[in-house]
């Protein structure tokens, strides 16, 4: 069974949304801790709520990708690109460094996804 490109694209979108959700959880946690760290500061927190929305959209992308005939052995490695997106979002939003060893890891993830797709 061949995995449609539309399923691959949905999982790629899901991987970006997953990384965005992680970033938003971290930003929301930082904000809540700065506000005293009380439970309400976590529950009524825009970035955390946006992170929850991102993860709901991730699940929607998963379901849509599988409905189109996607194969888990092909699609879950595509979702592993979340690590790449997380590094790029951290770099863009916080100026986080991407060390050469991280670049090697990114290349290996892309190579692994490519090999799994064959």
Convert the chain into a string of H (helix), E (strand) and C (coil): CCCCHHHHHHHHHHHHHHHHHHHHHHHHHHHHHHCCCCHHHHHCCHHHHHHHHHHHHHHHHHHHHHHCCCCHHHHHHHHCCHHHHHHHHHHHHHCCCCCHHHHHHHHHHHHHHHHHCC
Task: Report d(CA 33, CA 43) in Å as an integer.
Answer: 12
Q: Where are the domains of the chain?
A: 5-116
Write the Ramachandran bin of 97: left for phi over 0, alpha for psi from -120 to 50, otherwise beta: beta
Phi, psi of 55 (to 5 degrees): -70, -35
pLDDT score for 1: 63
pLDDT score for 66: 94
pLDDT score for 39: 84
Verdict on whether the full-model pTM lies above 0.85: yes
pLDDT score for 14: 97
pLDDT score for 19: 97
Interval 69-116: pLDDT, tens: 888 888 888 898 898 999 999 999 998 899 999 999 889 988 888 887
Interval 1-60: pLDDT, tens: 688 999 999 999 999 999 999 999 999 999 999 988 888 888 889 999 999 999 999 999
């Amino acid at each position: 069974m061949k995995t449609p490109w539309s399923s691959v694209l949905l999982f790629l979108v899901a991987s970006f949304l997953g990384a965005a959700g992680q970033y938003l959880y971290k930003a929301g946690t930082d904000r809540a801790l700065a506000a005293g760290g009380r439970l309400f500061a976590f529950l009524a927190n825009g970035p955390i709520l946006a992170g929850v929305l991102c993860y709901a959209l991730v699940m929607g992308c998963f379901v849509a990708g599988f409905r189109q005939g996607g194969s888990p052995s092909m699609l879950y490695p595509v979702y592993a690109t979340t690590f790449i997106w997380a590094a790029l979002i951290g770099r863009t939003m916080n100026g986080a460094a991407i060390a050469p060893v991280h670049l090697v890891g990114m290349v290996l993830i892309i190579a692994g996804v490519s090999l799994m797709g064959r």
